[in-house]
Amino acid sequence: MSVMRIEFAKMHGCGNDYVYLDGFRSRLPEDAPALARLISRRRFSIGSDGLVYVLPGERARARMRMWNADGSEAEMCGNAIRCVAKLLYERGHVREETIPIETGNGVLDVSLTVVSGKVTRARVAMGVPTVCSPQEIELPKGKKVRGRVVSIGNPHVVILGESLSDDCVLGLGARIEKHSIFPNRTNVEFVRAVSRSRLEARVWERGSGETLACGTGACAIHAAARTEGLVGDRATIALPGGELACEWPRGEGTIFLEGPCELSFEGAVEVEAGSLEKGR
């Protein structure tokens, strides 16, 4: 049976970790959904929240495609795009310190903080959020949850004021993600306001379960809380994996996300071609 040797970089933003494959250097496997399921399994493989392909772009120098741990493709990830920019810059594929990157949510500009040739942080112009009116989500046993549906190029439900306990996040996250009112499923954020500039949250990500952080989720949290008058133009979103900074000037137009981007390690994995077939 033929074996593919796949070189990768394991990177994370506040613990939201993905396996990154460099399409500037080599041809990448065609069955990305199966590969995502295979390599994302923690304790049985590399382990990650999903898979990201870094590719030459058509409308920009580079583009990213990403798949969740269950193999479903996602439109965008605010933590992943910062890591993509870090990889592009540090490997010399792009030398500018502001990099436009194609995503499933259009071309987004990423501005880098570079220290001694290494990218330590990045700020992303994430686009214009769409914040809907609050709605009640009916769950089994008569429970109702009030949330705001927010789009940051991908879908979110932001639930303000609920508990951040495991019983709440793990018990409700999967149910809301797959609720019938969300035919394409949704990400879910549970949020507690600490002050006018600080929010604490946990995130249940569509296709991956709970993650330590979520960049689009942080933007959705800020947009929902800003709309409700709980915070101002700038807010820190404290997540289990670290802190992300959001800015939404005047509560209109483009929302900005800033946070760290870190390389965990690089390596290579050998994958039997047939294992991708089995992973479908």
Catalytic residues: 77, 214
> What's the 3-state SS for the chain?
CCEEEEEEEEEEECCEEEEEEECCCCCCCCCHHHHHHHHCCCCCCCCCCEEEEEEECCCCCEEEEEEECCCCEECCCHHHHHHHHHHHHHCCCCCCCEEEEEECCEEEEEEEEEECCEEEEEEEECCCCEEEEEEEEECHHHCEEEEEEEECCCEEEEEECCCCCHHHHHHHHHHHHCCCCCCCCCEEEEEEEEECCEEEEEEEECCCEEECCCHHHHHHHHHHHHHCCCCCCEEEEEECCEEEEEECHHHCCCCEEEEECEEEEEEEEEEEHHHHHHCC
Tell me the two tokens of residue 55. 């590719």
Residue type, 45: S
